[in-house]
Amino acid sequence: MVRDSSDVPHGADTRRGWIGVVLIALVVGAASGLGVGAGVAAAIRSQDTASVKFSPNMSVFRRMNDVRAVLARVLPSVVGIQASGPGCASGPFGGVTQTDEASGMILTPGGEILTNDHVIANASQISVTLNGQKTTYPAALVGTDPGSDVALLQVHGPSGLQAVSLGGSSTTQVGEDVLAIGNALALSQSTPSATEGIISAEGRSITAGGGTCSGSESLRGLLQTQAPINPGSSGGPLVNSAGQVIGMDTAAATSASGDAPTQNIGFAIPITKIRKLIPGLRKGGTVGAPKAFLGVEVVSVTPAERSAWGLSATSGALVQSVFPGAPAVLAGIRAGDVISMFAGRTITTDVSLTLAVRAARPGERVTVELYRGPTLLTISLVLGVKPAPQAGSS
């Protein structure tokens, strides 16, 4: 955690004095280079000195001097979101209802709420819990932009809500203090968690998701933050020292088994981008061009997966489950299959399949090669359109 450095250590005082000596020496040296050595020598003999002024050592970064004051301003505008829907047709969650818990932020006193698209994707029921309350309220999906991972909800019941203050992420600076707020680990729907850190980078591009049948999304232009973002924080606000929202908590970096673990690397969608999406979201429906949809949940083939599933393939995208009614189901693809080729592209990992599907078009007929046990099969199928979340209430 980066802290303020309001006290200047003694080492800094010593260094400042040394800089002053160097600057004086440079002034004398420059004069000597101009061929006025006699005049300089006379000045030295008369003990003339150069006067150098130093500006105060003040940081240009905005610091979080009073975390509690910022939280008091923001927490009433943060909500818990519960999104329920059918599980995948096969795999460990087949035939049951899944409930995901995440976060959102109140956009207007009338009950408009911003959250991530991946929070409510494929949900048939959406409910909202206000800060400090136990009552849940039904919410309906207004509009969503899956490509930007942003969705707009309307909660029904409460009124006169306290809306967040939207800042300008275009003025954020690397090194600036921030708070990430949300329903971390779903520990409490009505009392969000807060983590502190800095903006550690801007303009990041990531591939996020893969944990649902809908697949992954490629997101660009994100803020990277050192403030920890955990499962359940998605859709919550990333705020600056003035309590203004500068981004939406969206993703946290993870590492594959066996690699060194990541350390507090989270990502947020800049609020300047979200502002531009709001008018389109208010019109309803799905914003943006339709995306191709295969309808599988996959992981990369690893030694552990080979052992668990008894696979003969050494690489590829292992199908863990399939989405109900998806093109993959209609073509006969099932859990345990290993996709090795898609539309002429060699598939070696789950990410390579995600990128290959994203490069295709809805309605396009493609050829898929896959291993079912030791047998290599070739399947032809027509890609669908990635489904939008379903509005609903609880």
In a domain, 53, yes or no: no
- 25 and 97: one domain? no
* Active-site residue identified among 145, 149, 177, 337: 149
In a domain, 390, yes or no: no
- 185 and 124: one domain? yes
Task: Identify whether 337 is a catalytic site residue.
Answer: no
- Cα 384 from Cα 386, distance rounded (Å): 6
Half-sphere exposure of 7 (CA within 13 A, CB side): 2
In a domain, 355, yes or no: yes
Range of the domain at 23: 10-45
Which CATH number is 132's domain given?
A: 2.40.10.120
Q: In the structure, what pLDDT confidence band is assigned to residue 286 with cuts at 50, 70 and 90?
A: confident
- 81 and 126: one domain? yes
Assess contact for 129 and 135: CB atoms under 8 A: yes
- 211 and 153: one domain? yes
Q: Tell me the average pLDDT across 376-382.
A: 96
Whether 8 shows a pLDDT value over 60: the answer reads no
Task: Identify whether 149 is a catalytic site residue.
Answer: yes
Distance (Å) of CA 310 to CA 41, 299, 358, 373:
88, 15, 29, 8
Whether 220 shows a pLDDT value over 80: the answer reads yes
What whole-number percentage of the chain has pLDDT above 90?
A: 44
Q: What is the pLDDT of residues 32-80, one digit of tens each?
A: 333 434 443 343 344 444 444 444 444 445 677 788 899 999 999 999 9
**If we measure between CA atoms, which residue out of 180, 320, 298 comes closest to residue 239?**
180
* Active-site residue identified among 234, 300, 321, 352: 234
- Which of 288, 323, 338 marks a domain boundary? 288
- 235 and 222: one domain? yes
Task: Identify whether 234 is a catalytic site residue.
Answer: yes
Assess contact for 139 and 128: CB atoms under 8 A: yes
- 267 and 378: one domain? no
- 256 and 363: one domain? no
In a domain, 51, yes or no: no
In a domain, 120, yes or no: yes
- 103 and 71: one domain? yes
